Structure 1
Amino acid sequence: MYVPAHFDEPRAEALHELIVQHPLGILFTNGESGLDANHIPFELKAAQGQFGVLQAHVARANPVWQDVKDGDEVLVVFRGAEAYISPTWYPSKHETHKQVPTWNYKVVHAHGRITIRDDERYVRGLVALLTRTHESSQPEPWKMTDAPKDYIASMLKAIVGIEIEITRLVGKFKLGQNKEARDIRGAAQALKDSGKIVLGEAMLAGVDAES
């Protein structure tokens, strides 16, 4: 990924935060069948290894888990807030007309080595963990014990666990850092007015930190 210096986000904690907030990653593999991409929700174990460990599961019918070998290098892409930026939102545009459209976004690339975890105990624990994570905000959280044991057992047999040890994290937070402060604020306010509040606030936080 091309990352100009002003868009580089090197802080592991900031990159981990984006992964946790946007856990649906794109897993890119290059196995025996060639390039493949799968959209998978991941659980991050930030304290494990040097940069963290990603855990997930795929359908047993998905050939990806047989197409790769333990230790193969893979890439997982996590995308956060993003939006089109109109040049009309920059105050300087109305003075010089020297602005063009762009797109702002936050993205993390997690490079790592994959391990296939085809055992029922691991998969059961992972599903329970994912369930607790994503059901915690529900008024009546669903639990695995809410379903019949034989049904859950059959569902667990239909999936395979995967684990990725992250070996390198690359973060690109393109938030207008190459623009004047007044232009960043103008674009950020326009985003907030249009409902893109998260990205607008992120842009404002960056420019306010430098003020």
Structure 2
Amino acid sequence: MYTPPAFRDDDLASIHAAMREARLANLVTATEQGLVATPLPMIVDETEGPYGVLYGHVAKANPQWQTPPVGDAMAIFMGPDAYVTPSWYQTKQETGKVVPTWNYVAVHAYGPVEFFQDADRLLDVVTRLTRLYEEPRAEPWAVSDAPPEFIAAQLRGIVGVRIPIVRVEGKRKMSQNRPEADRRGVAAGLAHSERASERDAAQLIPL
């Protein structure tokens, strides 16, 4: 990922936070037949390895897990993003030398991918994923709420994914390269957007 120094995020805690907030990732593997990608929710276990380990699952009918990968897999996480109009820049009023851009948060995590079908491991991954997204609800649903035989049947239809992260790249492009007056204009403009992701991006502009 092309990352100018002003936008590089090397803080592992910040990177892990961006991965958790992104929720949905794109799992990309290179194969002899070409690139294969699957959108799927993934969790990062920060206690494993130097950079953490990613867990998720794909449908057993998905051919990605049956196609041998060439080299490491890549998981792409996207955070808040927003179009930035030059009209928000103070510099527009001063010189007119401005152009549009796009602000965004992105994380690329790389590592050898393991696909597994062990029922106990699958149940652990599904339980952890469910707990993560259900806990904020007033009445969280739990895997154990469903009949055990039903869950066992569902598990037979998926394949687990495990990626020990060996390299990770974080990018936070949030107008850091602009003068303070321009950044304030961008933050104010995005804060009034009808899009929730753009309002989220407004809060990431450094002021």
Same fold (TM over 0.5): yes
SS state at 2:171 partner = strand
Q: Which residue of 2 aligns with 1:101?
A: 100
Structure 2: how far apart are the matches of 1:159 and 1:72?
Answer: 23
Structure 1: how far apart are the matches of 2:2 and 2:129?
Answer: 32
CA drift of 1:68 comes to 2.6
Matched, 1:162 2:164: no
The amino acid that maps onto 1:14 is S
Structure 1: how far apart are the matches of 2:89 and 2:168?
Answer: 32
CA drift of 1:193 comes to 1.3
Q: Which residue of 2 aligns with 1:137?
A: 136
Q: Alignment identity in percent?
A: 38
CA drift of 1:9 comes to 0.7
Structure 2: how far apart are the matches of 1:141 and 1:151?
Answer: 19
Kept in 2: contact 1:72–1:114 (CA 8 A):
no
What runs of 5+ residues in structure 2 fail to find an aligned partner? none
Kept in 2: contact 1:123–1:156 (CA 8 A):
yes
Q: Which residue of 2 aligns with 1:193?
A: 192
Q: Alpha-carbon deviations, 1:45-101, whole Å to 9, x = none?
A: 0121111100001100001111135x9411111000000000000011012111000
Structure 2: how far apart are the matches of 1:68 and 1:40?
Answer: 19
What runs of 5+ residues in structure 1 fail to find an aligned partner? none
Structure 1: how far apart are the matches of 2:18 and 2:114?
Answer: 23
Kept in 2: contact 1:25–1:42 (CA 8 A):
yes
CA drift of 1:145 comes to 2.2
Q: Which residue of 2 aligns with 1:171?
A: 170
Q: Which residue of 2 aligns with 1:117?
A: 116
The amino acid that maps onto 2:42 is F
SS state at 1:83 partner = strand
Between the two proteins, the alignment pairs up a number of residues equal to 204
CA drift of 1:16 comes to 0.3
Structure 2: how far apart are the matches of 1:37 and 1:60?
Answer: 15
Structure 2: how far apart are the matches of 1:115 and 1:127?
Answer: 16
Q: Alpha-carbon deviations, 1:91-148, whole Å to 9, x = none?
A: 1101211100000001001011111122101001111111111110111111122222
Q: Which residue of 1 aligns with 2:14?
A: 14
The amino acid that maps onto 2:201 is L
CA drift of 1:23 comes to 2.1
SS state at 1:92 partner = helix
Pairwise CA RMSD: 1.3
Structure 1: how far apart are the matches of 2:61 and 2:82?
Answer: 35
TM-score by length of 1: 0.93
Structure 2: how far apart are the matches of 1:156 and 1:6?
Answer: 44
Matched, 1:75 2:77: no
CA drift of 1:180 comes to 0.4
The amino acid that maps onto 2:59 is A
Structure 2: how far apart are the matches of 1:111 and 1:147?
Answer: 35
The amino acid that maps onto 2:7 is F
CA drift of 1:194 comes to 1.3
